[in-house]
Structure 1
Amino acid sequence: MKKLFSILICTVLLLSFSCKEEKKAPDGSTQMKKVMAIHDEVMPKMGTIGKLVGELKPKVDSTETGKQYEVAMKDLQAANTAMMDWMKEFGDRFDHEEILEGKELSAEKQQWLDEEEEKVKVVKEKINGSIARAEALLAKDTVQ
């Protein structure tokens, strides 16, 4: 419960930073905006992950079908963890002005931003993929 509360606080803080109006930024901040746009696209899906985990959890048992539900649930939880880890690392690497105000990045931080862009794309794929697989499994269950 304590971990969930910490995750919730991090999420709210990052959302509040990402939702503020940006000041006019230099052209070099285009990549930062792109990275944040990917984050902003998948962040609302975290609620869907929680909902799906809640639907899958009671279906987990020792049967073959139950094991499929468990795999889907763990996949969703791993996607959630990937997002939380990415946000923490991103927040550790960049300050408020760099993220929201387009402050010019050092060469090292530009390299980090390149890395973070690739990482957030992977996180996006994990989130979207795990949701799609879980929804397909649950839909298959209701058809049978």
Structure 2
Amino acid sequence: MKKLLILPLIALFVISCSNERKALKEKHDEVLQEVFDAHDVAMPKMGEINTLLKQLEEKIDSTSESENYIKAQKELQAAHKHMMTWMQDFSSKFPDVNKIENLDLEELRQRTDSLINEKPAVEDMRDHVLRSISRAKEILNN
């Protein structure tokens, strides 16, 4: 009789774990996509940063207006470095970001939490890149 009770409990446990894993995997994939989306906004802007840096360099001379160009240049360089640093950090934190099949439930939970914690960093980097480009364009157009 006890054996008959144990089998349904085991089945219920397996189904419960399976549902939790599925929900956690979906959350992981959703957050990972959000991280990639923020990166994918900033990454194509690297060429634009280089172009703006050259344009600013051409404007720099010994006049007092050069100070604004130099500030914009430094901000663009900092944004470029921010992007490169973020990518390097992300690669070291998540070397196998897409390989989650072999993770147990707790490892998957930790990975998902880590990605959630990574989101503000990538959004900050994206915003830094976009803000520096906007400011450089504004200075060049004045």
- TM-score relative to the length of structure 2: 0.72
- What is the CA distance between 1:116 and its match in structure 2? 1.6
Aligned AA (1:33) = Q
Structure 1 residue 102, shift from structure 2 partner: 5.7
Residue 84 of structure 2 aligns with an amino acid whose one-letter code is M
Partners of 1:59 and 1:66 within 8 A in 2? yes
Q: Secondary structure at the match of 1:64?
A: coil
- The reply on whether 1:72 has 2:72 as its aligned counterpart is yes
Distance 1:62 1:107 in 2: 56
Q: Is the 8 A contact 1:61 1:67 kept in 2?
A: no
SS at match of 2:61: coil
Offset of residue 113 of structure 1: 1.3
**Alpha carbons of structure 1 residues 85 and 91: separation in structure 2 relative to 1, 3 Å:** same
Which one has the largest radius of gyration? 2
Which residue of structure 1 lines up, in the alignment, with residue 129 of structure 2?
A: 127
Which residue number in structure 2 is paired with residue 3 of structure 1? none
Once residues 82 and 111 of structure 1 are traced to their aligned partners in structure 2, the CA distance between those partners, rounded to angstroms, is 23
Instruction: Tell me which residue corresponds to 2:51.
Output: 51
The number of residue pairs the alignment matches comes to 114
* Percent identical: 32
Matches within 5 A, 1:1-144: 26-28=25-27, 29-96=29-96, 98-99=97-98, 103=101, 106-140=108-142
Distance 2:64 2:125 in 1: 28
Is the Cα contact below 8 Å between 2:31 and 2:112 reproduced in 1? no
Unpaired runs of at least 5, structure 2: 1-24
Residue identity opposite 1:27 in structure 2: E
1:48-96 residue CA offsets vs partner (Å, 9 max, x unmatched): 0000001101322343210100000000000000000000000001123
How large is the RMSD of aligned CA atoms in angstroms?
2.0
Structure 1 gap segments, 5+ residues each: 1-25
Query: Deviations for 1:84-128, whole angstroms, at most 9, x for unmatched residues?
Result: 0000000001123x24x5656544433321222100111111111
